[in-house]
């Protein structure tokens, strides 16, 4: 089968989408399928394009057997809403202008949201090449921005919601990453037979237990201390102030240190807040290359995942949960709903989101039992991921959805307003 995936982000860009795309494509390629990715020049999250791509408009290359067509875009750092929006809209435009008429034979076209503005580009590729569209939903966008107060329920939101529903109708299949997302789409009238649930997971060969790195622990301020790390986007949705609250709760205990690793709109404000509070055992590091993540997790005494305490986040499952569990590391998750169910089933610790004192109490509990919690054989969290969220098995399930989309009646559904 010939699969075309339109995605603004692709390695070496960092994030959940590049990881999901790469790991799925690797499995599909190994089975003999032809994968083409239309993407942007590397730029995420810092907004810096490597020298090898500057001054060019389109570059074609191969990566792990995948044909990659990279298009120029207006690269901006992932720090402010207007920067993210302009960057995303620019790729939607350049991908269509620069790659649409290239020889791209495909049996199915995938486009993933967020970023939402890539979806119209994916639809254009689907229509131009007369291939069915698979719309992958990894975020309830734009609803999440209304719930978090970034966007009001005005004309812009209503327009974006109408566009979203139009693309659901135009898609042959809709792939969601949580059961809760499926329920949300069903409640909005998306036909049940269109929706497939293919959750995020972990590459168990890559994310595996290993010894800690003394060099990394020194770099992260964890030498001779109980090191708690947060790895990922520093944005408005994660509510990372709750980790600073936990650090403040443990201010008088020199045994604990904290490391924040990543980029995002709130990173500078969080660093300033930590300095204002006088939290001298809190370190901020830029995003690390993905290939170092297993070492980062292995070098952490505890890994923290959190979201803001908003009802909409009960439907979300942060993808890094699976990576941390696959590495066999202690996990503290300040989440609710479906994510909380997964963490509890895997043997992790769940605390109420937004409660820094609860995070601090969990860290004290882990620190007090650190010397007695070594597990014989495969760690429980890794075993749970192997049984339920192995990326290799999920790739096979996704492929069945693509086969169903490609083999369906070729009649195209027009894009129209609801």
The model's pLDDT over 351-408, given as tens digits with 9 standing for 90+, comes to 999 999 999 999 999 999 875 445 557 899 999 999 999 999 999 999 999 999 998 5
Partnered with residue 393 across adjacent β-strands are none
What the chain holds in terms of domains, given with CATH numbers, is: 2-201+390-406 (3.40.50.2000), 214-387 (3.40.50.2000)
Angle at 193 between CA 187 and CA 194, to 5 degrees: 80
> Do residues 17 and 112 lie in contact, with contact meaning Cβ atoms separated by under 8 Å?
yes
Partnered with residue 68 across adjacent β-strands are 37, 61
The model's pLDDT over 176-190, given as tens digits with 9 standing for 90+, comes to 999 999 999 999 999
Q: Is 278 exposed, middle or buried (0-12, 13-18, 19+ CB in 10 A)?
A: exposed
Greater model confidence, 150 or 233: 233
Averaged pLDDT, 131-146: 92
The model's pLDDT over 296-338, given as tens digits with 9 standing for 90+, comes to 999 999 999 999 999 999 999 999 999 999 999 999 999 999 9
Provide the Cα torsion 149, 153, 156, 162; round to 10°: 120
Partnered with residue 55 across adjacent β-strands are none
The per-residue pLDDT for 374 is 53
């Amino acid at each position: 089968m010939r699969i075309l995936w339109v995605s603004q982000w692709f390695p070496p860009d960092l994030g959940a989408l590049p990881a999901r795309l790469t790991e799925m494509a690797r499995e599909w390629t190994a089975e003999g399928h032809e994968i083409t990715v239309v993407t942007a020049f590397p730029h995420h999250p810092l907004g810096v394009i490597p020298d090898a791509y500057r001054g060019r408009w389109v570059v074609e290359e191969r990566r792990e057997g995948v044909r990659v067509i990279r298009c120029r875009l207006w690269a901006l750092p992932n720090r402010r809403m207007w920067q993210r929006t302009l960057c995303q809209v620019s790729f939607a435009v350049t991908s269509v202008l620069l790659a649409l008429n290239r020889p791209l034979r495909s049996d199915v076209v995938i486009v993933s949201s967020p970023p939402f503005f890539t979806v119209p580009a994916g639809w254009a590729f689907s229509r131009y090449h007369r291939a069915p569209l698979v719309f992958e939903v990894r975020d309830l966008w734009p609803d999440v921005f209304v719930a978090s107060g970034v966007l009001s329920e005005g004309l812009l939101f209503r327009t974006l919601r109408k566009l979203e529903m139009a693309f659901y109708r135009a898609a042959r299949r809709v792939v969601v990453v949580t059961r809760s997302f499926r329920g949300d789409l069903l409640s909005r009238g998306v036909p049940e037979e269109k929706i497939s649930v293919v959750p995020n997971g972990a590459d168990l060969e890559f994310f595996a237990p290993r010894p800690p790195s003394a060099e990394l622990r020194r770099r992260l301020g964890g030498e001779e201390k109980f090191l708690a790390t947060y790895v990922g986007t520093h944005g408005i949705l994660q509510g990372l102030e709750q980790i600073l609250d936990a650090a403040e709760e443990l201010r008088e205990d020199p045994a604990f240190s904290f490391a924040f690793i990543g980029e995002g709109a709130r990173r500078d404000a969080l660093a300033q807040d930590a300095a204002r509070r006088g939290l001298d055992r809190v370190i901020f590091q830029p995003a690390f290359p993905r290939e170092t993540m297993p070492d980062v997790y292995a070098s952490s005494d505890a890994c923290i995942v959190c979201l803001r305490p908003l009802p909409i986040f009960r439907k979300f499952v942060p993808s890094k949960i699976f990576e941390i569990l696959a590495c066999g590391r202690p996990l503290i998750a300040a989440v609710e709903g479906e994510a909380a169910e997964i963490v509890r089933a895997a043997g992790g610790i769940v605390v109420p989101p937004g409660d820094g004192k609860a995070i601090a109490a969990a860290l004290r509990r882990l620190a007090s039992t650190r010397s007695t919690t070594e597990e014989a054989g495969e760690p429980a969290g890794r075993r749970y991921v192997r049984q339920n969220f192995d990326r290799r098995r999920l790739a096979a399930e996704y492929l069945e959805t693509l086969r169903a989309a490609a083999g369906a009646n070729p009649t195209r559904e027009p894009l129209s307003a609801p």
